[in-house]
Amino acid sequence: MNGAESLINALAEAGVDTCFANPGTSEMQLVAAIDKQPKMHAVLCLFEGVVTGAADGYGRMADKPALTLLHLGPGFGNGTANLHNARRAFSPVLNMIGDHATYHLQYDAPLTADIEGFAKPVSAWIGLSQSADDLAAVGLQAWAKAQDYPGRVTSFIAPADHAWTETRSASAIPAVAAAPTAASADINAAVEALQKGSVAIMLGAMALREDALWQAGRIAAASGARLITETFFTRMQRGAGRVPVERLPYFGEQGADYLKDFENLIFVGTKPPVSFFAYPDKPSWLSPEGATLVQVADATVDALDALTRIADLLDAPAEPTVLQPRAAHALEHGAINSVALGKVIANRLPEHAIVSDEGATNGLGAFLMTACAAPHDWLTLTGGAIGQGLPVALGAAIACPNRKVVALQADGSGMYTVQALWTMVREDLNVTVLLINNNSYAILNIELARVGVQNPGPTALSLLDLSNPCIQWTAIAQGMGMSAERVTTVVDLDDAMARAMAARGPHLIEVMV
């Protein structure tokens, strides 16, 4: 057995069942080892940003890491933006980076680069294999570290000669660390605040899963506290029958205004909110001055445990009093906007669907309208590096083959990792892409004024405009083998959505707004 086989077998034994791959020459032994390991599903992606975004989506839905297979430093570099998003999502992601044979590095061949340097800004842990005997152990360590609660991006470097050299060493599967729990003093401080009233519980990360929200709902029932999520969360379980959560507005001054009357803020699975960007004369820090802030648990501390302990200490009722009712929206005829889009999605979304939301300026309307949809999971862009929505949808569909995935995708950001469409077709994934085409980086038109640019000229405006030429998404999808159609009215959108939700397999609906 060579080092590559030893590594891949060990990871498969540990439970890694998926490898999103974009290999090159230096990874051919790893490819061969994956080939021989029937427990490992290899998913080819045509660009590394798709690989890493897919691993993020998989991690969010499977709660365990997928493996990525990346080609040296520059291949990893192409994946860093979506690893940044995964890092911010606390997704478990396990990066396997091929490298030259160790003895070849001294020659500074064209692809030689500082791989560790590439990996550092996005990796919580980096492993360097020292020999073929060591390769599996390093991979397993990275696997364990990727599961530090609730997840981390970890990376390890697999030199080609360690992969192809024979080894007899066996590696024990290391223990995954238990989730840290909140300090009793912080739990007690939260209980005390809840007894005073005027409380918002700010929720993020694992606090937005159904079980944790149930506990938050009990607390709300006992205390009257409002439940509010951070603006960009990893995964929220929502819809009919679940505990509803308000969402903090995106723009900083609106967020600050939203929170201004609370005297107590409790944080579980998140930290005090800050504005996404800085703007001249607008606040960065959004919590009201003078309010008591109780940091019970950030994203890396067990949220379910914390919320359950608080609820129990409050003697909260066994069940929340407020659960989201199912409701259907009446549709208005005519052109499509984000609210109309959201209504159609809400009416048509099947039970336990997964929505990957990179809808940008059209995302919020859809989010609000789908509160009353059938129960589903909603995934957002956690790190602000656009080009994440399609890959995350891809990865979620691999993790959950029996659930419908809806990619709510803006045009500008969709272009970054458009290659994801191809893999959706290749793997026959159950993904419906709602490609929202407004021919513009619409958010930047808003931001231009907000940062104080007055009377922008034609060059500035042209840099935010995608209409010259207009992108024909149906043609691009068909070029990658995906069936596609274009809709311009609510009625046509509703009809297309009904068909897409009833069918299985990949399909793109270009929604003109």
Closer to a second copy by Cβ: residue 262 or 422: 422
265: CB partners within 8 A, 6+ apart: 199, 200, 201, 202, 259, 272, 287, 288, 291, 292, 293, 294
| Residues numbered 325-344 forming contacts with a second copy, rule: CB under 8 A | none
Nearest to a second copy of 198, 258 (CB atom) = 258
476 binds a second copy (CB under 8 A): yes
Binding residues for a second copy restricted to 395-434, rule: CB under 8 A: 412, 415-416, 418-419, 422, 425-426
Give dist(CA 283, CA 252) in Å, integer. Answer: 6
**Which of 187, 512 has the CB closer to a second copy?**
512
- CB of 339 vs a second copy, minimal distance in Å: 24
Query: Considering only residues 10, 14, 34, 157, which one is a binding residue for a second copy as defined by CB under 8 A?
Result: 34
* Segment near a second copy (CB under 8 A); pick from 172-180, 389-397, 432-440, 462-470: 462-470
**Helix/strand/coil (H/E/C) assignment for every residue in 401-435:** CCCCEEEEEEHHHHHHHCCHHHHHHHCCCCEEEEE
Residue 384 interacts with a second copy (CB under 8 A)?
yes
Total length of the chain: 513
Residue carrying the six token digits 């029958």: 241
Choose the stretch contacting a second copy; rule: CB under 8 A; options: 25-33, 56-64, 137-145, 370-378. Answer: 25-33
Closest contact distance (angstroms) between CB of 367 and a second copy is: 17
CB of 237 to a second copy, least distance (A): 21
385 binds a second copy (CB under 8 A): yes
Ranges within 45-74 binding a second copy (CB under 8 A):
46-49, 73-74
Cα 299 to Cα 56, 205, 215, 236, distances in angstroms: 16, 6, 17, 14
According to CB under 8 A, which one of 1, 44, 293, 339 is a site residue for a second copy?
A: 44
Q: Which is nearer to a second copy, 28 or 176 (CB)?
A: 28
Alpha-carbon Rg for the chain in angstroms: 23
178 to 217, contacts with a second copy by CB under 8 A? none
- What residues from 123 to 142 belong to the interface with a second copy (CB under 8 A)? none
Contacts of 472 (CB under 8 A, 6+ apart): none
Binding segment toward a second copy, per CB under 8 A, in 110-118, 320-328, 359-367, 393-401: 110-118
Least gap, CB of 190 to a second copy (angstroms): 23
- What is the rounded (10 degree) CA torsion for 365, 369, 373, 378? 30
What tokens were used for 321?
């009093």
CB of 308 to a second copy, least distance (A): 28
Q: Output the furthest CA–CA distance in the chain (Å, rounded).
A: 69
Give the residue with the Cβ less far from a second copy, 181 or 478.
478
First to last CA, the chain: 56
Residue 120 touches a second copy, criterion: CB under 8 A: yes
502 touching a second copy, by CB under 8 A = no
Measuring CA to CA, how many Å separate 329 from each of 11, 334, 339?
47, 15, 10
Task: Read off the tokens for 115.
Answer: 């791989």
Residue with smaller CB distance to a second copy, 244 or 414: 414
CB 336 within 8 A of CB 312: no
Q: Which is closer to a second copy, CB of 77 or CB of 249?
A: 77
Confirm if 508 and 484 have CB atoms less than 8 A apart. yes
Q: Which of residues 263-302 bind a second copy (CB under 8 A)?
A: 274-278, 280, 284-285
Q: Among positive and negative, which fits the CA dihedral 326, 331, 336, 340?
A: negative
Beta strands across the sheet bearing 353-358? 236-238, 376-380, 353-358, 405-410, 431-437, 507-512, 484-487
166 binds a second copy (CB under 8 A): no
> What is the distance between the alpha carbons of residues 137 and 395, in angstroms, rounded to a whole number?
26
Nearest Cα to Cα of residue 200 among 241, 258, 275: 258
User: Smaller CB distance to a second copy: residue 291 or 311?
Assistant: 291
| Contact residue for a second copy among 460, 492, 501, 505 (CB under 8 A) | 460
- Applying CB under 8 A, among 447, 485, 492, 495 the residue interacting with a second copy is 447
**Minimum distance from residue 392 beta carbon to a second copy (Å):** 15
Query: Least distance in Å: CB of 464 to a second copy?
Result: 8
Minimum CB distance to a second copy, residue 70 (Å): 11
Q: Which residue number, 258 or 277, has a Cβ lying nearer to a second copy?
A: 277
Tokens of 289: 């001055």
Which residues make Cβ contacts (< 8 Å) with residue 183, sequence separation at least 6? none
Exactly one of 39, 77, 489, 501 binds a second copy (CB under 8 A); that residue is 77
Is 117 an interacting residue with respect to a second copy (CB under 8 A)?
yes
Closest CB 331 distance from a second copy, rounded Å: 29
Per CB under 8 A, 511 contacts a second copy: no
- Binding part of the chain for a second copy, among 18-26, 166-174, 207-215, 356-364 by CB under 8 A, reads 18-26
Within positions 82 to 101, which residues make up the interface with a second copy, using CB under 8 A?
A: 84-85, 88, 100-101
Q: Is 254 in the site for a second copy (CB under 8 A)?
A: no
Is 512 a binding residue for a second copy by CB under 8 A? The answer is no
Distance CA 314, CA 221 (A): 10
Interface with a second copy includes 392 (CB under 8 A)? no
Whose structure tokens read 């003109």? 512
Gap between the Cα atoms of 325 and 304, Å rounded:
23
